[in-house]
Chain A
Amino acid sequence: MNGSNTPTSQPLPRTVTGIKGFDELSHGGLPRHRTSLLLGGPGSGKTVFSLQTLVNAARGRDEPGIFVAFEEDSRQIVANAATFGWDLSTLTKDKLFILDAHLSPTVVQSGEFDLTGMLAILKAKKEAMGAAWIVFDGIDVLLTLMRNPATEMREIYRIRDWLADNELTAIVTAKTDGAASEVWHYGFMQFMVDCVVRLDRRMEHGVSVHRLQMTKYRGSDFAAGEFSLSFGPSGIEVVAPEPAEIRHEASTERISTGFEHLDTMLGGGLFRGSSTLITGAPGTSKTTLAGKFADAACRRGERTLFVSFDEGADPIMRNLSSVGIRLKPHVKSGLLRMYSGRTEACSAEHHLIKLRSLIHEHQPRCMVIDPLSALAKIGGLETARAVASRIIYMVKDNKATVVITSLIDGDDPQAEATDLQISTIADTWIHLSYLVLSGERNRALTIVKSRGTWHSNQVRELALSDTGPALVDVYTAGGEVLMGTLRWEKEVEETARKKQRRTDFEHKQRELQFTEADTRARIKALELDLQRQQAELALYSRDDEARVLSSSERDRELRRIRSADPATAPTTVKRRDAAGSGNGSKARKETSDVR
Chain B
Amino acid sequence: MCAEKTRDSVSDPEVTTVVVMRLYVAGGAPNSVQAIANLEAICQEHLKPGYKLEIVDVFEHPLRALADGVVVTPSLTRLSPSPAVNVVGNLSDRSKVLLALGLEEKVK
Interface residues of A (CB under 8 A from B): 99-104, 106-118, 120-121, 123-125, 128, 142
Contacts and interface: CB of A to CB of B under 8 A. Distances in A.
A121 B70 contact: yes
A108 B72 contact: no
Contact of A113 (B38, B73, B99): B73
Interface in B74-108: 74-75, 85-94, 96-97, 99-100
Contacts of B26: 114, 116-117, 120
Given A108-B86, A111-B34, A112-B31, A120 B96 contact: no
Interface in B27-61: 27, 29, 31-32, 34-35, 38, 58-59
30 contacts: A99-B66, A100-B69, A102-B71, A103-B71, A107-B87, A108-B99, A108-B100, A109-B87, A109-B89, A109-B93, A110-B87, A110-B97, A110-B100, A111-B38, A113-B31, A114-B29, A114-B31, A115-B72, A116-B27, A117-B29, A117-B70, A117-B72, A117-B74, A118-B72, A120-B26, A121-B70, A123-B62, A124-B62, A125-B63, A128-B63
A445 B74 CA distance: 80
Contacts of A118: 70-73
A116 B29 contact: yes
Contacts of A117: 24-26, 29, 32, 58-59, 65, 70, 72-75
Given A108-B99, A111-B93, A114-B73, A121 B86 contact: no
B87 to A, nearest CB: 5
Interface residues of B, number: 37
Q: Which among B71, B87, B100 has the greatest number of chain A C-beta atoms within 10 A?
A: B71
Contacts of A99: 66
Contacts of A102: 71
Contacts of B59: 117, 120
A110 B100 CA distance: 10
Contacts, number: 112
Contacts of A142: 71-72
Given A120-B26, A121-B58, A103 B69 contact: no
Q: Nearest 9 CB-CB pairs, A to B?
A: A117-B73, A111-B92, A124-B62, A111-B89, A116-B26, A111-B90, A117-B26, A117-B58, A110-B93
A125 B29 contact: no
A101 B69 CA distance: 8
Given A110-B87, A111-B35, A114-B29, 19 more contacts: A102-B71, A107-B86, A108-B85, A108-B87, A108-B100, A109-B89, A109-B96, A110-B94, A111-B31, A112-B31, A113-B88, A113-B90, A115-B73, A117-B26, A118-B73, A120-B59, A121-B63, A121-B65, A124-B66
Given A103-B71, A118-B71, A120-B59, A110 B27 contact: no
Nearest to B88: A113
A120 B89 contact: no
Contact of A110 (B25, B69, B88): B88
A114 B85 contact: no
Given A108-B100, A113-B72, A121 B66 contact: yes
A114 B32 CA distance: 9
A113 B75 contact: yes
A422 B55 CA distance: 72
A110 B73 CA distance: 12
Nearest to B29: A116
Contacts of B63: 121, 124-125, 128
A273 B78 CA distance: 72
A116 B90 CA distance: 13
A118 B68 CA distance: 12
A120 B86 contact: no
A116 B96 contact: no
B96 A108 contact: yes
Nearest to B76: A110
Contacts of B97: 108, 110
A104 B87 CA distance: 11
Contacts of B100: 108, 110
A104 B96 CA distance: 16
